[in-house]
């Protein structure tokens, strides 16, 4: 971040020639206006979600007497209804359990795999790395039918275990790919000198590489957590009973009943279901950005 | 252990070398050992199901009944199925329009964010929000925004006197297509923008300065400096975007479930509908398998996009 600041300062000083046409007017039209429109469009659905979640029912669709963009006398009724009269807390708990366990499982497997591919350099390591990348490209929409078939045969249909075991199919390739990049950035010399000092491979991994790769581990971990929290198609296919559902599936299949939509409850469900990942995100923005761009930049 | 002499150490440890330690002493053995958990997992839950899916496509399996091999019957049936072809058309249209819009708007946003801005990191953070929030939950917000009676968009347009009656966003086939594409673009812009922004920041400022000194206008600097240097990352980002858009399921499932009259059915949603509620696992699997050629095309595209790096770094083409 300080690098950026220095760089920014340098550019300001150096390229007078390029900024001479940048009058304030031009800057407003070229930069601030588009930025404002983008931010408005990208954030409006969240605002609308939040406003609806705390609107009393009589104001919800009455646009004539109440401004739709504002709430007069916000209420927590929808949220109370959600927390005390539906299975919503259970769904939150399920999603949490499934996300945490599948993340831990994937991270553990990925650390070893990434280290092996990047640093042990066994025969065929490069090909394995490529296979991992290809595995990352296999979409869940192709796999859910055969996986449903397997889940049924294993007798784990409608259990959280089914999700914990299937989520790593997209988490492991992603985490491995990401961690490979991080391991690559750790200087060889550190490992070599540890080897010379008599450290075993295991000691090198746990005492040298992993501590240095902690940012990578955090990135992979929170990203994997978010991906599992947001997962939908497997959860929709493998879970049938209300008490085992995850938040996205539960909100969609249990809160939408008949023709009268309870928009207040639906929107508070969506809002509360988004909060955990948004809070996590707000603490680790830079890790998120680095893992997202890292995965693309190979 | 570490203080003992080399000879003594060997003499002590040799008799009780287990297979594990012997394995971990060789490069390939250790590699195998470390790869084992991930490889076992992926073989069991990714490679095997992929093969199983292809096999299921050749059978008449339905829920609760193991199927028998029926050859290409599912595919012949799909070949003559108008709904299937409609879903193929919808998928291609959806992917094409959404990807182009995501690219143009995402690149624009990235260029805007690459300017000198106060609170740049703050903007970058909030712009990524649509991508962080679970798709299903943000799609629910869009469902409410696209409501046939109480849509906020309709309300604003009516308030401004632009339209007479509320727009039936999800009830009319073409409007429904436009609406789901809009929601998909909304969710995809942040990903494209942030990835391209990362690419833009790697382009050295000195190149722009050199071009500016040579008299290049801002459009020329964009066309001949920014764009060529950004091409490799554009190729990768757009391949990901195409892959995710092509196999999209969640958004359609929440907003329209394929309706009205199958106008927004994508291959993924049709596959789900036939296989899970419909019970025809074999047919659903066949539809899923039919997506693979398109995906392979996208991956090959990405591969050649990556290859471009070579000539950009001064190597042979």
Among candidates B37, B141, B208 on the partner chain, residue whose Cβ is nearest the Cβ of A270: B141
d(CA B144, CA B140): 6
Mutate which of B87, B94, B109, B133 to test chain A, going by most A C-beta atoms within 10 A? B133
Q: Distance from B261 to chain A by nearest Cα, in Å?
A: 19
Instruction: Enter the tokens of residue B222.
Output: 């964009």
- Summarised one tens digit per residue, pLDDT across range B121-175 is 888 889 989 999 999 999 999 999 998 888 888 888 888 888 888 888 888 899 9
**In chain B, residues 194-233 whose CB comes closer than 8 Å to chain A:** 194-195, 198-199, 205, 208-209, 212-213, 233
A24 and A47 share one domain:
yes
Q: Distance from B45 to chain A by nearest Cα, in Å?
A: 6
A124, part of any domain: yes
Taking CB atoms and an 8 Å limit, are A1 and B250 in contact across chains?
no
Taking CB atoms and an 8 Å limit, are B39 and A113 in contact across chains?
yes
Among candidates B28, B46, B189 on the partner chain, residue whose Cβ is nearest the Cβ of A123: B28
Mutate which of A60, A146, A156, A230 to test chain B, going by most B C-beta atoms within 10 A? A146
Instruction: Enter the tokens of residue A142.
Output: 């192709």
Which chain A residue is nearest to residue B233, measuring alpha carbons? A297
A178, part of any domain: yes
Q: So what's the pLDDT on residue A162?
A: 92
Last residue of a domain, one of A28, A51, A75: A75
A245 and A111 share one domain:
yes
Segment (H or E) for A270: helix A263-283
Taking CB atoms and an 8 Å limit, are A147 and B34 in contact across chains?
no
- For residue B229, pLDDT over 70 is answered with yes
A45 and A117 share one domain:
no
Q: Is A115 on the interface with B (CB under 8 A)?
A: yes
Which chain A residue is nearest to residue B201, measuring alpha carbons? A4
Whole domain around residue A43: which residue ranges?
17-75
In order, the DSSP letters of B148-207 are TTT-HHHHHHHHTTS-SS---TTTSHHHHHHHHHHHHHHHHHHHHHHHHHHHHTTS-HHH
Residues 6+ apart with CB under 8 A from B310: B316, B317
Counting every residue, how long is chain B?
317
DSSP tag of A124: T
Counting every residue, how long is chain A?
298
A147 and A276 share one domain:
yes
Bridge-partner residues for B65, per DSSP? B62
A58 and A97 share one domain:
no
d(CA A132, CA B38): 10
A262, part of any domain: yes
Q: List, by residue range, all CATH 1.10.3720.10 domains of chain B.
A: 73-312
Greatest mean pLDDT range, A3-17, B203-217, B263-277: B263-277
Q: So what's the pLDDT on residue A3?
A: 45
Q: CATH number of the domain that A144 lies in?
A: 1.10.3720.10
Taking CB atoms and an 8 Å limit, are A270 and B208 in contact across chains?
no
A121 and A90 share one domain:
yes
d(CA A222, CA B277): 33
A71 and A88 share one domain:
no
pTM of this prediction? Answer: 0.86
Q: Does the bond joining B303 to the residue before it have cis omega, within 30 degrees of 0? A: no
Phi, psi of B42 (to 5 degrees): -70, -35
Alpha helices in A20-76 (DSSP H): 24-27, 33-53, 57-60
Count helices and strands in chain B by DSSP H and E runs: 18, 0
A61, part of any domain: yes
Comparing CA positions, the residue from A228, A247, A234, A239 lying closest to residue B46 is A234
* Residue with the two structure tokens 């429904």: B176
A10, part of any domain: no
A225 and A273 share one domain:
yes
Taking CB atoms and an 8 Å limit, are B132 and A278 in contact across chains?
yes
Contacts of A132 in chain B (CB under 8 A): 38
pLDDT string in tens for chain A (298-residue length): 444 444 444 444 444 444 545 678 888 888 889 999 999 999 999 999 999 998 888 887 777 777 788 888 888 888 888 889 888 999 999 999 999 999 999 999 999 999 999 888 888 888 998 899 888 888 999 999 999 989 988 889 999 999 999 999 999 999 999 898 888 888 888 888 988 898 888 888 888 888 988 888 998 999 999 999 999 999 999 999 988 999 999 998 888 876 667 888 889 999 999 999 999 998 888 888 877 776 665 4
Among candidates A143, A232, A293 on the partner chain, residue whose Cβ is nearest the Cβ of B50: A143
d(CA A292, CA A284): 12
Residues 6+ apart with CB under 8 A from A3: none
A9, part of any domain: no
A57 and A106 share one domain:
no
A285, part of any domain: yes
- For residue B298, pLDDT over 60 is answered with yes
d(CA A79, CA B138): 17
Q: Distance from B134 to chain A by nearest Cα, in Å?
A: 4
Contacts of B27 in chain A (CB under 8 A): 120-122
What's the CATH code, domain B73-312? 1.10.3720.10
**In chain A, residues 131-160 whose CB comes closer than 8 Å to chain B:** 132, 134-135, 137-150
A146 and A272 share one domain:
yes
**In chain B, residues 72-131 whose CB comes closer than 8 Å to chain A:** 105, 108-109, 112-113, 115-117, 121, 123-130
Taking CB atoms and an 8 Å limit, are A146 and B49 in contact across chains?
yes
A100 and A226 share one domain:
yes
d(CA A143, CA A138): 8
A145 and A217 share one domain:
yes
Instruction: Enter the tokens of residue A103.
Output: 């993340």
d(CA A252, CA B249): 14
DSSP tag of B44: I
Long-range contacts of B31-35 (CB under 8 A, 24+ apart): B31/A116, B31/A120, B31/A121, B31/A122, B31/A123, B31/A125, B32/A122, B34/A112, B34/A113, B34/A115, B34/A116, B34/A120, B35/A112, B35/A113, B35/A116, B35/A117, B35/A122, B35/A128
Last residue of a domain, one of A31, A51, A75: A75
Last residue of a domain, one of A37, A55, A75: A75
- Contact between A39 and B127 under an 8 Å Cβ cutoff? The reply is yes
Which chain A residue is nearest to residue B283, measuring alpha carbons? A145
Q: So what's the pLDDT on residue A14?
A: 41
Question: Angle B72-B76-B79 (CA atoms, 0-180°, nearest 5)?
Answer: 140
Residues 6+ apart with CB under 8 A from A242: A87, A250, A254
A11, part of any domain: no
Q: Is A250 on the interface with B (CB under 8 A)?
A: no
d(CA A97, CA A164): 9
């Amino acid at each position: 971040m300080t690098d950026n600041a220095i760089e920014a300062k340098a550019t300001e000083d150096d390229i007078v020639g390029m900024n001479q046409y940048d009058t304030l007017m031009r800057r407003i039209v070229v930069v601030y206006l588009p930025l404002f429109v983008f931010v408005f469009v990208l954030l409006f659905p969240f605002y609308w979600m939040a406003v609806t979640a705390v609107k009393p029912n009589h104001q919800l669709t009455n646009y004539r007497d109440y401004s739709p963009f504002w709430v007069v006398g916000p209420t927590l009724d929808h949220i109370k209804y959600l927390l005390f009269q539906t299975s919503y807390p259970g769904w939150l708990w399920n999603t949490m359990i499934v996300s945490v366990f599948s993340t831990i499982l994937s991270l553990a497997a990925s650390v070893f795999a990434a280290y092996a591919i990047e640093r042990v350099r066994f025969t065929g390591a490069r090909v394995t790395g490529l296979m991992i990348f290809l595995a990352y490209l296999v979409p869940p929409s192709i796999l859910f039918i055969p996986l449903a078939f397997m889940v049924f045969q294993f007798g784990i249909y409608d259990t959280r275990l089914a999700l914990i075991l299937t989520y790593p199919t997209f988490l492991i390739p992603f985490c491995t790919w990401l961690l490979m990049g991080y391991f690559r950035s750790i200087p060889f010399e550190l490992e070599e000198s540890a080897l010379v000092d008599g450290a075993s491979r295991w000691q090198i991994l746990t005492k040298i590489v992993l501590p240095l790769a902690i940012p990578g581990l955090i990135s992979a971990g929170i990203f994997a957590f978010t991906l599992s929290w947001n997962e939908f198609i497997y959860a929709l296919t493998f879970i049938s009973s209300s008490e085992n559902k995850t938040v996205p599936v539960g909100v969609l299949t249990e809160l939408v009943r008949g023709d009268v939509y309870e928009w207040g409850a639906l929107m508070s469900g969506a809002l509360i279901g988004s909060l955990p990942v948004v809070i996590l995100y707000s603490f680790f923005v830079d890790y998120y950005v680095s893992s997202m761009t890292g995965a693309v930049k190979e | 252990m570490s203080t003992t002499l080399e000879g003594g150490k060997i003499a002590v440890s040799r008799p009780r070398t287990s297979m594990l330690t012997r394995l971990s002493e060789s490069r390939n053995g250790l590699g195998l050992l470390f790869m084992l958990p991930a490889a076992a997992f992926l073989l069991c839950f990714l490679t095997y199901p992929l093969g199983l899916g292809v096999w299921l496509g050749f059978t008449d399996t339905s829920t609760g009944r193991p199927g028998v091999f029926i050859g290409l019957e599912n595919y012949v049936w799909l070949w003559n199925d108008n709904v299937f072809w409609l879903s193929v058309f919808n998928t291609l249209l959806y992917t094409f329009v959404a990807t182009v819009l995501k690219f143009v708007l995402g690149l624009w946003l990235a260029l805007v964010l690459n300017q000198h801005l106060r609170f740049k990191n703050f903007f970058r953070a909030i712009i990524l929000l649509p991508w962080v929030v679970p798709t299903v939950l943000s799609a629910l917000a869009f469902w409410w925004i696209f409501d046939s009676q109480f849509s906020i968009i309709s309300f604003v347009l009516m308030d401004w006197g632009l339209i007479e009656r509320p727009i039936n966003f999800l009830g009319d086939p073409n409007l429904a297509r436009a609406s789901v594409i809009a929601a998909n673009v909304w969710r995809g812009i942040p990903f494209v923008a942030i990835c391209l922004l990362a690419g833009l920041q790697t382009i050295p400022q000195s190149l722009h300065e050199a071009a500016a000194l040579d008299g290049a206008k801002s459009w020329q600097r964009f066309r001949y400096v920014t764009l060529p240097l950004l091409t490799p990352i554009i190729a990768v980002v757009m391949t990901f975007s195409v892959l995710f858009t092509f196999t999209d399921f969640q958004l359609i499932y929440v907003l329209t479930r394929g309706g009205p009259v199958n106008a927004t059915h994508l291959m993924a949603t049709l596959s789900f509908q036939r296989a899970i509620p419909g019970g025809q696992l074999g047919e659903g699997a066949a539809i899923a398998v039919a997506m693979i050629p398109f995906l392979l095309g996208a991956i090959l595209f990405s591969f050649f996009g990556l290859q471009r790096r070579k000539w950009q770094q001064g190597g042979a083409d």
